[in-house]
Structure 1
Amino acid sequence: MGSRKSRFCGAADTVGETVTVQRIGHARSSHGLQRARQAQPLSTFGSLRLTARFMAPLLFVLCGALASCQSDVDGVAKNVKTNDIKAPASDVEESFGESGAEITLLLQKGGSGLFEGPSRDIRDAAGLSVGDLGGNQAFVKVVDASSAANVATAVSAAKARNVALLISYLPPQVTASIAAMPADQRPPLVNLGVPVPAMAGNVYNLVSDEMDSAVEGLRAAAASGHKKVVAFAQTDFPQAGEFKLGDTVRASGGTFLGMTRYNLTDASASDAVQKSRPMLQGADTVLILGRTAIATTIEGAIKAGGPPNLTFVGTSAWPPQTYAEPTANGTVIAMVEPEGASLIAERYKRHYKRTLSTDAAYGYDAVAIASGIIRTKGPAGLNAENLTSKTGFRGVTGLFRLTPSGQVERRLSLFTISGGKLTLLSAAPTSF
């Protein structure tokens, strides 16, 4: 079966090249994209507007270092999708699209021998993205990298084929081995998995995590004068994360009073709160991290016996069911606004019969970055200068930019939990 090839063109109809230029004024854990679809925003991004002419979402490639831009935004829309994309079977060599520059997607198959879970979501979203935005100038080749030998061979072969970009969703140690290769011996690399070091250069971690949400939430609290912070986190929360939170608070002129860790039981949550009573007496802000409903158990225990007038900051990792807990009312959470994701959520579900996931949204944006640059600058434009444009990109995961150090900076909106749902407090800035 491996010798057969199956190619699926991302868009059947060409409506001609249209460049939309708009001016704008002015982050493994979820960053809240899927959950944020439950929100009831009070306003929407002014720069995300669809017309009847554009039936597919637009990824706006912000120019920054890109020469020839005449405005703050170089937006691209071509080959608008009008027909469904059917994903090829996972037991053949897969390509989405027929011609143009190659974008290689490195994934691992599951125990069934098929792409499963997040890998399947990313693969399908990549197909949707190149169909929307590739314009017959880019296609996605899906490569099974289930073994270390496969990875080394795949990267070498990609370099020989003059691949424009590698996109990896592999175990961190595998992606790290690719990232460690000299930059001139491989294509640029966008990582959709756990962040890896980018010391060799031209490596970019695209995924935001719970820390990004926590940091933005603390910054918002500090801006309103709440600067004495106590934090709670699950026992597996890394020490480096605690240091980063402390640095964030101090950089805002505040005081980080300490962190207490908890296990995933009500008894552990209650014990953690009791141990933290002395710190809570001197605090005005409580940050609660965790991918668990126990987060609201902790909040409830603090509210029941702690000092009044505390500001509570949650994170985008909180499960959606926590919003319905009465104790969560008033909690502030920073996350990606749902506007961008809604542009492709319905079509993704129609094509693939399941709900758009955060992993899928990242996969869509990774391909969209490459497609946009290829269409405006050609395959050679996928270089460090253009990938790290200071004005960044606007995609379905919001406004973000990649940095030379390999990290991602993302603009988040601020929500509060009220009546069992998220309510928008302030929209993300429209530029960096």
Structure 2
Amino acid sequence: MIQVVSGMRIGRGGAVTSVSSNGTASAGRSWLKKSVRSVFLAACLGLAGCQASNLGDGLSASNSGVAALGSSTYGNGPVQVTMLLPTDGALRKKAADISDGAKLALDDLGAGQLRIDFQASASTSGQAASKVQAASAAGSKLIIGPATNAEVSRIISGTSLPRPPILALVPNNSAGGTHIWPLYGDAIDSALEGVGVAVAAKQKNIVVVHEAGFPAENLLRLREGIKLKGGNTIGFVPYPASGINLRAAFAKGQLVFAKANTIVLLGGGDAIGEVIDILAAGEFGQSIATAIATSLIPEEIYKRPSAQGLMVAVPSTTDVSVIAERFKAKYGRAPSYDAAIGYDSIAIAAGLVRSGGPDAITVENLTSSQGFRAATGLFRFRPDGRIERRMIVHRIENGSLKIIQEEGEGF
């Protein structure tokens, strides 16, 4: 165990909270009735011990009136961390929040050891690869960013090893490369948390219902994740994102529905409400006992009678309370999830340097199986270039989310 600056503790390993034996209360079909903290990274993070959504406005905040960031340096420590942030109008709020969260983390945890080199540019400028090369030449130990998949792809094609590890400000997807990891989770991570609960409840045969055109690599990642959780993917049933002829689309999957006892609903667009209505009515998949939605579905869906009983896993927002008061005092606003991401990215670097010295920010240490617990919850960077984030599993009940499984104390 490691003491954090707040006086709380970071847990090592450990099992997640057991699934409630109570059935899900639901106003819909029977399959909706059967489904089944120590917060931010320690500044003294030790590798031999353990390593350690809606927060404010978040990603949906308006960017109007937010000035573009300029390149600058914050802090004067000997260990340089480079942060690549966008100046695009649509990303300015995100960039400002990440930058402010990073500065707060350096104030809290840097202990005179770190400095942040902020490099700002438009995501369409084509400068990402050259900025990574410059950061590497300048001796940066870690690169945080960029914030778009296109820039990550340019870095992969335009740079080579050796270079510093990169924590990209993008969700889990196929854009990752060698020694590059995303910092954000995605809908697949959310779905797999729910799958874990379903499998523990012996609901192992899973059909995936998804928008047509959902990225094939993400569907493959979901299938692989289901297998790792102990489940069996019976099949995939696509539906038109437009919502036209949904019943006809589902009718094509009758044989798949008939073999499943769990359904995963991938989608959050305009059609998802009608998708849930149709499937909850019981016309398809009489054997399905458990339904899992994802973090993609909008909150207004929670009020629909057909959505009652759905499982939804979302990132922990509890832990950000540890930084909320100081963030608001410094910047005059509540921290968004992006601000917490910025905080965590520097907290990781600070913790490794404080525990292991200026050369401790390595691929081996970043990919420790213990993972990290920080302002955005519990996560770890996998050797395959993905981030694995634990989420809190909820059940939709009476129009709101009710916790049925906590994030847990470790992996």
TM above 0.5, one fold? yes
Code of the residue aligned with 1:143 in structure 2: it is: Q
5 Å matches for 1:274-353?
Answer: 274-292=251-269, 294-306=271-283, 307=286, 310-345=289-324, 347-348=326-327, 351-352=330-331
The alpha-carbon deviation at position 332 of structure 1 amounts to: 1.0
One of 69, 75, 96 as aligned partner of 1:97: 75
Q: Structure 1, residues 80-101: CA drift from partner, whole Å, max 9, x if none?
A: xxxxxxxx96464323334442
Q: Does 1:120 align with 2:96?
A: yes
Check 1:376–1:349 CA distance in 2 against 1; reply closer, same or farther (3 A cut): same
Gaps of 5+ in 2: 15-36, 53-65
Paired residues of 1:208 and 1:410 also in contact (CA < 8 A): yes
1:151 to 128, 135, 148: 128
Structure 1: unaligned runs, 5 residues or longer: 1-16, 27-44, 49-57, 75-87
Find the residue that maps to 2:256 and give its secondary structure.
helix
Distance 1:118 1:19 in 2: 27
User: In structure 2, do the counterparts of structure 1 residues 168 and 418 end up closer, same or farther at CA, with 3 Å as the change threshold?
Assistant: same
Deviation at 1:170, TM superposition (A): 3.5
For residues 159-308 of structure 1, the aligned pairs below 5 Å read 159-179=136-156, 181-184=159-162, 186-194=163-171, 195=173, 201-251=178-228, 254-292=231-269, 294-306=271-283, 307=286
CA RMSD of aligned residues (A): 3.1
Pair 1:284–1:61, CA change in 2 (3 A) = farther
Q: Distance in 2 between matches of 1:121 and 1:230?
A: 38
Distance 1:425 1:249 in 2: 20
Given that 2:235 and 2:256 are in contact with CA atoms closer than 8 Å, whether structure 1 keeps it comes out as yes
Deviation by residue 1:210-246 (Cα, 9 ceiling, x = unmatched): 1111122122211211122222112231122323333
Specify whether residues 345 and 177 from structure 1 end up closer, same or farther in structure 2 by C-alpha distance, changes over 3 A only: same
> Letter of the aligned partner of 1:59 in structure 2?
L
SS in 2 for 1:372: helix
Task: Check the 8 A contact 1:123/1:363 in 2, yes or no.
Answer: yes
Match of 1:59 among 25, 41, 45: 41
* Partner of residue 20, structure 2: none
The yes-or-no answer on 1:425 pairing with 2:409 is no
**Separation of aligned partners in 2, 1:219 and 1:405:** 21
SS of alignment partner, residue 145 of structure 2:
strand
Which secondary structure state, in structure 2, belongs to the residue aligned with residue 305 of structure 1? coil
Contact preservation (8 Å) 2:44, 2:351: no
How far off is 1:265 after superposition?
4.0
Q: Does residue 360 in structure 1 map to residue 346 in structure 2?
A: no
What is the alpha-carbon distance in structure 1 between the residues aligned to residue 200 and residue 95 of structure 2? 39
Aligned length: 367
Tell me how far apart the structure 2 counterparts of residues 162 and 250 of structure 1 sit (CA, whole Å). Answer: 41
**Residue matched to 1:24:** 11
Deviation at 1:59, TM superposition (A): 1.6
Q: Judging changes above 3 Å, is the alpha-carbon distance between structure 1 residues 335 and 318 closer, same or farther for their aligned structure 2 residues? A: same
Residue 112 (structure 2) pairs with residue 136 (structure 1): yes
CA apart distance, 1:109:
1.1
- Check the 8 A contact 1:196/1:205 in 2, yes or no: no
Q: Is the 8 A contact 2:85 2:121 kept in 1?
A: yes
Distance 1:19 1:354 in 2: 21
Mapped to 2, the partners of 1:123 and 1:21 lie a distance apart of 26
Q: Secondary structure at the match of 1:340?
A: coil
Cα 1:109/1:328, change in 2 over 3 Å: same
Identity percentage of aligned residues: 30
Q: Classify the secondary structure of the residue corresponding to 1:339.
A: coil
Contact 1:179 1:196 in 2 (8 A): no
SS at match of 1:298: helix
TM-aligned CA deviation for residue 396 of structure 1: 1.6
Aligned counterparts of 2:228 and 2:369: Cα–Cα separation in 1:
22
Structure 1 residue 315 displacement after superposition:
0.8
TM-score with structure 1 setting the length: 0.75
The more displaced of 405-414 and 208-217 is: 405-414
Check conservation: 2:380, 2:387, Cα contact below 8 A.
yes
Distance 1:152 1:253, change over 3 A: closer
SS at match of 1:173: helix
- Quickly say closer, same or farther: Cα 1:347–1:274, change in 2 above 3 A: farther
